[in-house]
Structure 1
Amino acid sequence: MNQLLLIAASEWRYWLQSRLALGGALIFLLLFVVTSLLSALRMEAENHSRGHQQTEAENTFLSQPDRHPHRMVHYGHYLFRTPAPLATFDPGLDTVTGQSIFLEGHRQNTVMFAESAASADFGGLSWLSPALVYQLFAPLIIILLGYGSIAREREAAVLAPLLAIGISGRKLIAGKALALQSFVLLLLCPLVSSCALAMGEGESPVALLLLFGLYFVYLTLWLGLTLLASTLLTKRSTVLLTMIGLWLGFTLVLPSIAVNSSSSANVAAGKIESDLTMLADLRKLGDGHNANDPAFKKLRSDLLKKYGVERIEDLPVNYRGIVALSAEKKLTNVLNDYADARMAAELQQEHQLENYGWFTPALAIALASRSIAGTDLAHYHHFQREAENVRFSFVQGLNRAHAESLSYLDDINRSKDEESWQRARVDASHWQVLEKYQFQTTDISKRVASASTSIQKLIIWMLITFVILLWRSGKISL
């Protein structure tokens, strides 16, 4: 153990003398601070803006005067997806997916994007986040520190005396790894600060521990790859060029190829094509605005039989409201089927992308990090499903008010004159069917399940690297 500590201490002395460790740590810290500040400002502005707009939308809906309930169905409501607590560290898909949606009767609208100026305000660094600093630049700093670990000793003719005095190759590698591992822990200190801030915003401690563990495994993997290259190759220049090429391939080239390949291999139907097919299916359900549509003939006969009357005017409920309730339910089932199919196609593309994690750990860490942070595709789908639940709930609540609080005769005669129009309104208290909404990340167990495949890939990558390193360290030669 003493020999391991001496080897690690010797490595640190070299780094400090050459200012490698100090320079690397300062560069990384500067990048992290700048990106954290930009990301925090962006997310704070987004959180405040979306939260404020959500409150305004709710207050506007609830403050509407007495109206015909179906007018409120079409008046609609907005929902906004506020950023997750860990979005400051890893915004994930937040900047490339919609954040607000307009809810109304008879249709599911597309989630809308924020204004383009939101990212332009931060210039060219708007795409960079603290998570990307760890995924892209932390491995590069580890490479710059560790590429000469063994090759340097070989070039300086120090390796032979070390082996001669009884220091085995494995012990030498272990000492170098200990030094690099301590530097990895130093690099992870800023991550702890981000996690502490997220915990203050209500994030689960389990999520924070998992995030720390993910990046620990990822950077340890790069540590192992760097030491392995330094062990296999004889010259430092060759090691450095090899590792820089590996870094470029793993972090930039292969992820881009993976994204393009996944998109082209699983082509989803276009919006226009899907909408046309969906409209054809919706027409078969009947027009909910037309109570005399033949599609509702059975509903009418069943309703008359249930209440023992012969005319819809004698029903104790408003037949037009009952038609609206039935039509909206059938229509929503069809809309949800198409929405589920679209989400399944998007998930299929992501699963295809996940498979490329076997070829590049950078992709595996990116997907796992987004899942744990709650900024991945699953959470975007989660928002869409929650929005649909809110839409269906308040629309059906208004349709029930239409059926139960407005007489059929007043409803069909509402266009006769002003007095008739006033009688066809219901009290504004019925607008209370709208509940307050705030987007929340899913339970940590669901996030872990979503990230499990990518986490397994990272661990397997690390284990294979260190098994090869352990085998090769016993064969170190001059």
Structure 2
Amino acid sequence: MTVILAIARQEWRLWLRSRVAILAMALVSLIIAATSLLNAHRMADEREHRIHQQAVAEQTFLEQPDRHPHRMVHYGHYVFRAPPPLSLVDPGVDSVTGQSIFLEGHRQNTPMFADVRASANLGSFQSISPAFVYQLLVPLLLISLGHGVFVRERESKTLAPLLAQGVSGSSLFMGKFLALASLSGTLLIPLVILTVIAIAIGDHALMGVGLTLGYAMYLLVWCALICVISAIAPNRGLALGVLVFIWLAWALILPRLAIASAGAMHSVPSKLETDFQMYADIRELGDGHNASDPAFTQLRANLLAQYDVERVEDLPINFRGVVAQTSEADLTTLMNEYADRRMTKERSQSSHSNRFGWVSPVIAISTASRHLSGTDLATHHRFLREAEDVRFDFVQGLNQSHIDTLSYTDDINRNRNAEAARRARISAENWEVLDRFEFTPDPSDARAQRALSPLTQLALWLIILVGLGHLVCARVKP
């Protein structure tokens, strides 16, 4: 162990004597610190802003004056997805999927207001975040500093004396690996601070620890790879070239290939195609605004028979409200079927892409990072489902008020004059059907379960590369 520590200390001495190494470490450290501060401030501001906007939206809805209930169905309501605490590290899909949905009757609107303020804060690096820096930039620093850890010994003719003094190749590997690992640990300090902040503002400690350990494993994978390539390569130029090529393949080529193959194998119809098909199906359900639509003939007959009356005007309930409620239920069932199909396709695409983590640790850590941070596709889908539950509940609650509170005669005559319009309004107390919306991250056990597979991929990468390093370095020759 003393030999390993001595080798690691010697590597640090060489780095600290090199102006290029110090400049590279200082530059990357500055990028990490600046990105962490900017992203933490931005996400904290977004969280506060969205929570405030949610409260304003609910208050605005509840403060609406007396109106016809169906006008409130179309007046609608907004729900906002507040970013989870660990979005300080990894915003995930938040910036591309939208943060808010407008809820209204007869429609399932898509999320909107995707966050683009990152581009204003950080220039052209629209997606830059601590996760981006650790996944792509820190490995480049490790490559620039570590590609010559073994080759340098061979080129400076110090490898033979070391081996002659009884230093084993495995000890040499572990010493070099420890030096790079300690450098990685130093660079992880800002990440630890961000996770502590996230835990302090409400996230589970297990998620913060898991996220930190995941990034630690990821950087150790790069440390082991760098040592292996440096031990094999005959010169520093070749070692650097091979490592940069691997970085390009892992960080840029394979992720693009994963996305392209997922889209090809699990294609999702365009929104326009889906809307055309869905609207064709909707027409068969009948028009909920037209109580005389033939689609509701049987509904009318059943109600007349149930209450033993001859005309809808004699019903003790408002037939137009019943039509609206029935139509909304049927329409929602249809829309949910289409939404479920789309989500199933998107999950298939995501699962296909995530399997590329077996050939690229960059994909593995990005997947694990989103899962543990609560900013993954599964969280977005849950937001859509919970928003739809709120939409359906308040729309059907208003339809029930339409049925129970407003007479059919006043309803059909509401456009005759001002007095008729006034009688067709119901009390604003009926707007209390709106449920309070508060979106929170998934429980820690659910997020941990989703992150288990990519974390396993990283662990396997680390075991294989460390084992390969010992095997290669045990046979290393001057």
> TM bucket by the smaller chain?
over 0.9
Structure 1 stretch displaced more, 37-46 or 100-109:
37-46
In the aligned structure 2, how far is the partner of 1:323 from the partner of 1:330? 11
In the aligned structure 2, how far is the partner of 1:117 from the partner of 1:459? 35
Query: What is residue 15 of structure 2 aligned with on the other side?
Result: 15
Contact 1:181 1:223 in 2 (8 A): yes
Contact 2:94 2:115 in 1 (8 A): no
Q: Name the TM-score, length of structure 2 as normaliser.
A: 0.95
Q: Deviations over 1:228-272 (max 9, x none)?
A: 001111222221221122112211232223323333343211111
1:183, distance to aligned residue in structure 2 (A):
1.6
Contact 1:38 1:126 in 2 (8 A): no
In the alignment, residue 334 of structure 1 is paired with which amino acid?
L
In the aligned structure 2, how far is the partner of 1:39 from the partner of 1:196? 15
Query: What is residue 359 of structure 1 aligned with on the other side?
Result: 359
Structure 1 stretch displaced more, 100-109 or 110-119:
110-119
In the aligned structure 1, how far is the partner of 2:340 from the partner of 2:262? 20
Change in Cα spacing, 1:140 to 1:118, as seen in structure 2 (3 Å) is closer
Contact 2:24 2:141 in 1 (8 A): yes
Query: What is residue 170 of structure 2 aligned with on the other side?
Result: 170
Change in Cα spacing, 1:117 to 1:466, as seen in structure 2 (3 Å) is closer
Contact 2:122 2:128 in 1 (8 A): no
Q: Are positions 1:218 and 2:215 aligned together?
A: no
1:335-374 superposed matches below 5 A: 335-374=335-374
Query: What is residue 459 of structure 2 aligned with on the other side?
Result: 459
1:243-322 superposed matches below 5 A: 243-322=243-322
1:154-169 superposed matches below 5 A: 154-169=154-169
Flag structure 2 segments of 5+ consecutive residues without an equivalent. none
Query: What is residue 66 of structure 1 aligned with on the other side?
Result: 66
1:21, distance to aligned residue in structure 2 (A):
5.8
In the aligned structure 1, how far is the partner of 2:117 from the partner of 2:213? 35
Percent identity reads: 48
SS at structure 2 position matched to 1:157: coil
Query: What is residue 147 of structure 1 aligned with on the other side?
Result: 147
Change in Cα spacing, 1:167 to 1:121, as seen in structure 2 (3 Å) is closer
1:340, distance to aligned residue in structure 2 (A):
0.9
SS at structure 2 position matched to 1:438: coil
Contact 1:20 1:145 in 2 (8 A): no
In the alignment, residue 414 of structure 1 is paired with which amino acid?
R
1:358, distance to aligned residue in structure 2 (A):
2.3
In the aligned structure 1, how far is the partner of 2:453 from the partner of 2:425? 55
Query: What is residue 56 of structure 1 aligned with on the other side?
Result: 56
1:397, distance to aligned residue in structure 2 (A):
0.6
1:365, distance to aligned residue in structure 2 (A):
1.1
In the alignment, residue 236 of structure 1 is paired with which amino acid?
R
1:464, distance to aligned residue in structure 2 (A):
1.6
In the alignment, residue 406 of structure 1 is paired with which amino acid?
L
Contact 1:47 1:82 in 2 (8 A): yes
In the alignment, residue 297 of structure 1 is paired with which amino acid?
T
Flag structure 1 segments of 5+ consecutive residues without an equivalent. none
Q: Are positions 1:331 and 2:350 aligned together?
A: no
1:329, distance to aligned residue in structure 2 (A):
0.7
Tell me the C-alpha RMSD between the 2 structures.
1.9
Structure 1 stretch displaced more, 438-447 or 398-407:
438-447
Contact 2:285 2:295 in 1 (8 A): yes
1:101, distance to aligned residue in structure 2 (A):
1.4
Alignment length (residue pairs): 478
In the aligned structure 1, how far is the partner of 2:253 from the partner of 2:38? 26
Query: What is residue 108 of structure 2 aligned with on the other side?
Result: 108
Q: Deviations over 1:339-369 (max 9, x none)?
A: 1111112222222211222222111211211
In the alignment, residue 112 of structure 1 is paired with which amino acid?
M
1:116, distance to aligned residue in structure 2 (A):
5.2
In the aligned structure 1, how far is the partner of 2:364 from the partner of 2:451? 9
Contact 1:8 1:179 in 2 (8 A): yes
Contact 1:99 1:111 in 2 (8 A): yes
In the aligned structure 2, how far is the partner of 1:356 from the partner of 1:211? 20
In the aligned structure 2, how far is the partner of 1:231 from the partner of 1:12? 18
SS at structure 2 position matched to 1:70: helix
Q: Deviations over 1:408-459 (max 9, x none)?
A: 2222222233222211111101101112223211112222233333222222
Contact 1:317 1:407 in 2 (8 A): yes
Contact 1:215 1:365 in 2 (8 A): yes
In the aligned structure 2, how far is the partner of 1:139 from the partner of 1:385? 38
In the aligned structure 1, how far is the partner of 2:463 from the partner of 2:119? 39
